Every structure is written in structure tokens, then in C-alpha cells.
Amino acid sequence: MSVILALAGDTTVALDDAAISRSLAAMGAAAGDRVAIWRGVRVALAVARQPWEMSASFSGEALIVAQGELAVAADASIYYRDALRAALDRARITPAGDSASHLILAAYRAWGEECAAHLEGDFAFAIWDGVAHRIVAARDFSGKRTLYHSTVNGALVLASTAGGALALPGGSHALNLTVIAETAAGLWGGSAETCYESVRAVLGGWTLVRQGGEPPRLRQHWSVPAAST
């Protein structure tokens, strides 16, 4: 799998590449992984990808895909690509490449914040829109690829694991004792809370949007279809 990291906020500029690399390593990035770090105005995206994920049928060779004021970091496999390209063609959008990241970015160009609802596959991604000053992140409904969000020194952090946020300078390691107790008692019920007070999960089938400096908004882009009778 790939691990991804996205940071958006005024304090992002204070984080050097070494700090970002430590965060990737805390999420399991290994010495043989390919790594890319991309920076915009008060935003940074990073990806570390294992060699087997470089196949075109998985996440592909493209690490950070940037087009103008748009950029995406993705851990993803996208299915039914012909159908997606046909839908994009109807929306008059042409992907700039064939990788999962190119297709995800094309879907954002076509459908904006609703893009995840038009994707089939297993994915976790973060898109930066520099024109709208917006970050959009989502997971597929099955939740195979993990994604967490936190706030570190006023900046929004999105990371493949909780440890990615905690490894950043200023990350809070305060424990969420209620969640730990519930988990130990076998009472886990699919909450977005984690064992760390400062970290929440983006649940499978949900999209997170942060516009400017506003608090993140979370909404469900997929729900269980109603059974026909």
C-alpha cells in the first residue's frame, strides 16, 4: 500500500522535508519506497509508495499529481475505468493520465466535492484546490485504505495512520481513555474516535472538506442501498 500525508494551514511552512519524511516513516514507509513531497501556498502533500503498488492496475507510478492549482495524493485502485472515462467525457473532462491519481483529479474537476460518489474502487485521497483554498479527502465505502484527520499547531493534517499525525512536531499523544476502555470491553461500534484524543478517522464512505480556515465538514457520500422488495 501507499501512505499519504496532507497538511493545510499557516504553520505548514514551518515543517521541513525531514519532518514530513519522519511522519511517512511512522506510517510504515520503508527505505525502498518511492517518496514525493509537493508544496503549495500553506499546503503540503506527500506520498510514499511500495514498489508493488507502482503497477498501473494499482496506484501507479504517479505519486503527487499536480495540474495548475490542483494537486492530489492518493492511495488507490480505481475500478471500471472505461465507465469512469465515459462519464468524464460526458462532463467534458479529459484525464491528463491513466493512473488512479489522474482519474481522481479528473473526477474532482468534473464533480467537485461530490467526486468520491462517482468513483468505484478502494481508495483514500486528499485533493488540494488552490483556487478555492479547499482540501477534499475521502475514502471508499469499504474503507480498505485508511485515512485519519487531526489538527497540529493549527494546521489540518490528513494521514494514512494516526501515527502519521502524532509524529509531526506538536502532535498530541493524549490518550482517549473512553475509547480504549470500550475497545477493551469489546464495545467498539464504528465510531470515528480513536484511542488518541486529537485524531479522528475519516470513515469509509465519507468525505471531509475544509474550506479556507473553517473547521472541517464531514458528510457521507455513500450509504447502503435500500433493498428492493
Spatial separation of the C-alpha atoms in residues 116 and 162, rounded to whole Å: 22
pLDDT tens-digit readout, 10-51: 989 889 999 999 999 999 998 889 999 999 999 999 999 988
Q: Give the pLDDT confidence score for residue 30 in this predicted structure.
A: 85
Spatial separation of the C-alpha atoms in residues 74 and 163, rounded to whole Å: 18
> What's the whole-model pTM score?
0.94
Spatial separation of the C-alpha atoms in residues 6 and 133, rounded to whole Å: 14
% of the chain with per-residue pLDDT over 90 = 79
Q: Give the pLDDT confidence score for residue 229 in this predicted structure.
A: 62
- For residue 174, the tally of other CB atoms under 10 A from its CB is 9
Average pLDDT over residues 165-192: 90
- Show Cβ contacts of residue 188 under 8 Å, excluding neighbours closer than 6 positions: 182
> Which helix H or strand E contains 21, and what residues bound it?
helix 17-26
Per the structure block, which three cell numbers stand in for 46? 506527500
The pLDDT confidence band at residue 186, using thresholds 50, 70 and 90, is: confident
pLDDT tens-digit readout, 144-159: 999 999 999 999 999 9
- Show Cβ contacts of residue 90 under 8 Å, excluding neighbours closer than 6 positions: none
E strands in the chain: 2-8, 34-40, 43-49, 64-67, 70-78, 121-129, 134-139, 148-152, 155-159, 199-201, 206-211, 217-220
pLDDT tens-digit readout, 63-122: 999 999 999 999 999 999 999 999 999 999 999 999 999 999 999 999 999 999 999 999
pLDDT tens-digit readout, 190-229: 789 999 999 999 999 999 999 988 999 999 999 888 766 6
